[in-house]
Structure 1
């Protein structure tokens, strides 16, 4: 892990703001209008527009001061695309990892379809790639390479958001017509799509003791494969930018949760190479976070351990090869 100068971190902060502004502006068609829905004391903004005689609403986001600023400045955001591309090139030249062209085009298609706007969360190694510029650190390229894209979403969010993408298979086939659903032995609806050796998979937290049936995620036009421990990972997700083209606005797990989750997953892997990669990603992130956000690390660790002895034993096992300062921080 190598720290980068403050000037480089400032470039990412500027890119992040511009990409977020542009993503909000893209939803706000000039001929539509904005409406607000209040649910349980919180205000949610939607953009509505009449299309082919039908009133269509698109989810914009939870009301915050930042969202209100983006809405107010939406016209200026539409004119900054060339500047965003320059910032992406500068960050890549500084040594940060960016996705290959195929992965980048798929992420771009998912973002344009509304997957991340509708609270889909990018997980896995592609998410790990964004933590470098976010945290101001360069990680070894060998642990940031992947041939998959994984997206997770809470089912409750998918139902409550009151907006929909088109069918996910249609979204992916516009990028690559070879994408086909991966069907299980029981022929249940697909949660994954494959083209050659590349897979895009959708996940959702497991609610029952051992829940195998894929669950509908209506907001993102597909089903999700239930996974244990995923609820800890994607709770309180954060905004981030993928360094591709003019930048892609995504949501990723909080880096502290990502690192601690990787400790657990590393102990459940049958593939030893993937287990080593999980631990390496966790240790690299924790090395940075132990310096910059030690209290957050300790709070999330206490939360994890409070979920039961199995959670703690798996996480502790994942720490066995971690540097001693990290082990000392997590009792």
Structure 2
């Protein structure tokens, strides 16, 4: 499975859209940005007063990139309506250039979740919806056969980060889901749900979090939901990146780094090889495409992610090796990186 690149114009338009969306979130500060340090890491907050109370809204983790974006946002005086129209123009250009879009229901749901702060507060889109968004990050012209549409939306977040942020989605995620006619699906723990099913249709939203001991349900306080803890997920969602969804005037989300997504797919493919062969085959196909692309364009990133996974123990190495045994061409590419 391979993919041709988009045009240079589409590639530039995508990154213009992404940059505008990232900066937009820094324009509506109500107070003064303040830096809070926890466990040796810095986190920026918008601190403002509401009556006698001081409120804090999470902005992002401290980095030179965030500092530059805050400065750029302060310097840009373009009206909000003009910025939105400019982004809508970029979205139209991307669609005309063949970028994949979202159906209105999924696009509206993603926009509502982003508006509530889900992705600002650490939520990371994983699964097929994340794979689709590598189209812009890696400049790949993906076909419908390569990204068979799924009604499932998987969002992952670190439990510890959710606890540390001391901020919460607004409106609450459960309210956003209810507005789109999602109800909690029954789970093995009464009164707790990590899956939400739309009452009309097959759409499903699942919340996930890394398991550092036993798998089970965990609370994500920042999102106000429970999540299913899964092994290997900590590797996947470490150091996520931003991605732009070409819907309306653009929607900003987080996705895993593509090199981590590719290696993680090798692990997942082996985990569910016996239970769901079709999904296992799709996992291997997505990994193959990303590894081929990354080996050509970002070999150092791919090599580092592969070595990181191999260093995590024999069970990791065994699962990766089992998948690669069924993918000789991909195995050869990885060995040559």
Gaps of 5+ in 2: none
- Match of 2:49? 50
CA contact (8 A) 1:193 1:199 kept: yes
Q: TM-score with structure 1 length normalisation?
A: 0.91
Deviation per residue, 1:153-199 (Å, 9 max, x gap) = 1111111111111432112222x1x2111121331511121103111
- Match of 2:300? 295
1:42 to partner: Cα distance: 4.1
CA contact (8 A) 2:215 2:228 kept: no
- Match of 1:160? 164
Structure-1 separation of matches of 2:93 and 2:142: 17
1:67 to partner: Cα distance: 2.1
- Match of 1:36? 35
CA contact (8 A) 2:284 2:323 kept: yes
SS at match of 2:118: coil
SS at match of 1:224: strand
- Match of 1:101? 104
CA contact (8 A) 2:265 2:286 kept: yes
Structure-1 separation of matches of 2:264 and 2:143: 20
CA contact (8 A) 1:18 1:77 kept: no
- Match of 1:205? 210
Structure-2 separation of matches of 1:254 and 1:10: 20
RMSD of Structure 2 on Structure 1 (CA)? 2.0
- Match of 1:3? 5
SS at match of 1:81: helix
SS at match of 1:185: coil
Structure-2 separation of matches of 1:148 and 1:77: 37
Q: How many residues align?
A: 324
Q: TM-score with structure 2 length normalisation?
A: 0.90
Gaps of 5+ in 1: none
Structure-2 separation of matches of 1:322 and 1:122: 26
CA contact (8 A) 1:25 1:70 kept: no
- Match of 1:128? 131
Instruction: Give the 3 Å change call, closer, same or farther, for CA 67–186 of structure 1 in structure 2.
Output: closer
Deviation per residue, 1:93-133 (Å, 9 max, x gap) = 22221221111111111111111111111111111111011
